């Protein structure tokens, strides 16, 4: 008997809403298996199939936390090219999908977890959720967030999060425009928004509206992600400190920076 699937998928609202749930609590790490399962689920949603046409997809997570982010082990040189390639392909698939994507976030939503959430159309957050890009603390940077966050919250606010590595709560995320709603039960808030605004709409028209909001964005993100992958893999990972920062984290010790 194999391991349980890292993502659960089911339909609700008379088949008009696809539910996707990260299901490896408590960390819900975005490792290779999780990324592959998400990519397959979004690909299937884009292909359509039997039953009512989708009005939306709601992504949330089992357990107290949305996601601690990508696997740190997979950031090391032996695996980071494959990990970044697969993860960025997933994000591009989400950005291209002609179906509105809602995401409900509680607990920690960090690193790749926030990048995943930022690729959705609307983010519903708990007030005490913690959202951030802590990659700089490990001596690396977040390629996808470096192009997604400026698009969502502006360059100044994005610079603050990306350079400091600090996490913000759901209230600040709402103030910055990253979250569209703050609620103690973000899943219920997302479902209520779906019922009020999407359930009775034409799936065809919603698909065009979802595509329309991403026109221009897709071209910018695709071009920047390619350049950012090269900056990360060819330049950053050829230096000493990024490897030291990742290794120190895995060894549970302070990093010894040499500024090289």
135 catalytic, yes or no? yes
Instruction: Using CB atoms within 10 Å of the CB of residue 238, give its burial: 0 to 12 exposed, 13 to 18 middle, 19+ buried.
Output: exposed
Chain position carrying tokens 């479902």: 191
Round to whole Å and give the CA distance between 213 and 80: 31
Cross-strand bridge partners of residue 168: 131
Chain position carrying tokens 């951030």: 132
Residue 44 DSSP symbol: H
Q: Which of 62, 74, 96, 135 is catalytic?
A: 135
Q: Which of 115, 187, 244, 251 is catalytic?
A: 115
Round to whole Å and give the CA distance between 214 and 208: 10
Round to whole Å and give the CA distance between 55 and 198: 6
Supply the residues annotated as catalytic: 115, 135
């Amino acid at each position: 008997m194999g391991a349980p699937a890292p993502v659960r998928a089911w339909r609700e609202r008379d088949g008009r809403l696809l539910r996707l749930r990260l299901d490896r609590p408590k960390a819900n790490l975005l490792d290779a298996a999780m990324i592959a399962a998400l990519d397959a689920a979004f690909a299937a949603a884009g292909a359509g199939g039997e039953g009512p046409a989708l009005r939306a997809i709601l992504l949330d997570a089992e357990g107290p936390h949305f996601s601690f982010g990508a696997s740190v082990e997979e950031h090391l040189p032996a695996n980071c090219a494959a990990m970044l390639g697969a993860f960025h392909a997933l994000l591009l698939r989400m950005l291209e999908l002609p179906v509105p994507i809602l995401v409900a976030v509680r607990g920690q939503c960090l690193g790749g977890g926030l990048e995943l959430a930022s690729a959705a159309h609307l983010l519903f957050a708990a007030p005490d959720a913690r959202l951030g890009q802590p990659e700089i603390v490990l001596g690396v940077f977040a390629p996808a967030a470096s192009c997604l966050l400026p698009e969502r919250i502006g360059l100044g606010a994005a610079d603050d999060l990306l350079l400091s590595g600090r996490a913000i709560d759901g209230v600040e995320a709402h103030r910055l425009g990253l979250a569209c709603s703050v609620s103690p039960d973000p899943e219920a808030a997302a479902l209520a928004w779906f019922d009020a605004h999407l359930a009775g709409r034409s799936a065809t028209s919603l698909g065009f509206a979802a595509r329309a909001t991403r026109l221009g964005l897709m071209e910018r993100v695709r071009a920047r992600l390619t350049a950012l992958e090269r900056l990360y893999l060819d330049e950053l990972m050829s230096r000493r400190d990024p490897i030291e920062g990742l290794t120190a984290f895995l060894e549970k010790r302070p990093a010894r920076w040499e500024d090289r």
